Amino acid sequence: MDKIDIKEIVAIVICIVVVIGVSLYFAGFLDNDEEDTVYGDDITDIHNNDSPAEESSSGSLKIKIEYNGTFTAGYGSANKNDDFTSSGSREIDLGNSTYVDVGAKKSDDSSGLLKLTILKGDKVVSEKTTTDPYGEVIIHYSIN
């Protein structure tokens, strides 16, 4: 039997979290305007509560993940979904999607900053950070 790599386990867990989040969203159990889940003790949350009319201005919905190390991430939206392992900075354009569920987890025990940002055009609409070792951030965001 082959050994299971920790990165594979983390990627599977993130995928499961994203699938559950998307399922709960469609089932109506989450009020995504207020429901932002984050794991870890050292967390910063920036959430702009602008009116829906302002948020629906031009520009596509984007995910931006920044970390000076390796991280795993997964996301689901109306237009796209994926899970991956990466490092540095990564930006994903979701086009005209109206919601996104996204999670990112540090793959090491450093106290470096992992930042997860949701943008509408060039405007930050939600942001989470953590410096916890193996820290994880999750954002459920909906324009409505």
Residue 105 lies in a domain: yes
DSSP H/E element including 24: helix 6-27
Per-residue pLDDT tens digits for 80-134: 999 999 999 999 999 999 999 999 999 999 999 999 999 999 999 999 999 999 9
| The residue count for the chain | 144
Which region, left, alpha or beta, applies to residue 54 given φ > 0 means left and ψ of -120 to 50 means alpha?
alpha
Give, as one character, the DSSP assignment of residue 27.
Answer: H
Per-residue pLDDT tens digits for 35-94: 444 444 444 444 443 433 334 456 899 999 999 999 999 999 988 999 999 999 999 999
Please give the pLDDT value at position 46: 45
CA nearest neighbour of 128 among 55, 51, 47, 49 = 47
Residue 1 lies in a domain: no
What letters, b where the CB count within 10 A reaches 16 and e where it falls short, cover 14-49?
Answer: bbebbeebbeebeeeebebbebbebebeeeeeeeee
Residue 125 lies in a domain: yes
Per-residue pLDDT tens digits for 20-32: 666 555 555 444 4
**Cβ atoms of residues 65 and 14 within 8 Å:** no
Q: Helix count (H) and strand count (E) of the chain? A: 2, 8
The model's pTM is 0.64
Angle at CA 11, nearest 5°, toward 127 and 6? 120
Residue 127 lies in a domain: yes
Please give the pLDDT value at position 4: 67
Residue 63 lies in a domain: yes
Please give the pLDDT value at position 56: 42
Angle at CA 64, nearest 5°, toward 80 and 8? 65
**Could you list the residue range(s) of the whole structural domain that residue 79 is in?**
6-142
Please give the pLDDT value at position 107: 96
Tokens at 38, concatenated:
């984050």
Residue 11 lies in a domain: yes
Residue 99 lies in a domain: yes
Residue 51 lies in a domain: yes
> How many domains in the chain?
1
